[in-house]
């Protein structure tokens, strides 16, 4: 009988740890705001996701990023990501900083142009990515906007 109680207590403790740890870990991650898919004629596609960064949930400022994940034959080839910071006050929003990064999953791609910039209440990044084996170019244009109430899109 005593063994069953000890097992029950240990199982309850283990269950609490398994349930609670992911809840705490989720607070350190970015929150997905939206996700869209763009299809291309050659069967390639891009998954475009807007994230609100967890550290930016303070009133009056937002940090976010928008990832452009490019796939061919169902395999992720590369990701072009716009990172942006905003301030807002209920009547206006302003982008204060914009940077863009490129992360290739397949070595045959290279970033040949990268132009991120803040523009009013938006951040815009224009990139050109080239497939070195064929010369094929993909030109992702990524935009993040912030409303006067701090909603990212």
Between CA 114 and CA 128 the distance in angstroms is 7
What confidence tier does 17 reach under pLDDT thresholds 50, 70, 90? very low
2 domain residue, yes or no:
no
Output DSSP code: residue 55: G
1 domain residue, yes or no:
no
Query: In this structure, are residues 32 and 153 in contact, taking their beta carbons and an 8 Å threshold?
Result: no
pTM recorded for the entire structure? 0.79
Other CB atoms closer than 10 Å to residue 6's CB: what's the count?
A: 10
Q: Output the domain CATH number for residue 41.
A: 2.60.40
23 domain residue, yes or no:
no
Structure confidence at residue 32 (pLDDT): 96
Could you tell me the residue range of the domain that residue 65 belongs to?
Answer: 30-145
Overall number of domains in the chain: 1
pLDDT per position as a tens digit, 41-75: 889 999 999 999 986 556 799 999 999 999 999 99
SS3 of residue 10 by DSSP: helix
Structure confidence at residue 54 (pLDDT): 83
Structure confidence at residue 34 (pLDDT): 97
For residue 89, which phi and psi values (nearest 5 degrees)?
Answer: -140, 15
153 domain residue, yes or no:
no
């Amino acid at each position: 009988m005593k063994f069953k109680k000890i097992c029950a207590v240990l199982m309850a403790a283990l269950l609490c740890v398994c349930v609670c740890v992911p809840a705490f870990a989720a607070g350190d991650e970015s929150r997905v705001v939206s996700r869209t898919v763009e299809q291309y004629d050659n069967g390639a596609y891009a998954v475009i996701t807007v994230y609100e960064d967890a550290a930016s949930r303070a009133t009056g400022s937002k940090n976010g990023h928008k990832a452009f994940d490019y796939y061919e034959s169902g395999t992720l080839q590369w990701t072009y990501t716009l990172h942006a910071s905003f301030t807002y006050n209920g009547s206006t929003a302003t982008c204060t900083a914009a940077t863009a990064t490129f992360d290739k999953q397949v070595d045959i791609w290279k970033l040949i142009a990268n132009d991120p910039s803040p523009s009013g209440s938006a951040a815009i990044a224009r990139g050109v990515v080239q497939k070195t084996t064929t010369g094929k170019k993909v030109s992702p244009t990524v935009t993040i906007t912030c409303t006067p109430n701090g909603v990212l899109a």
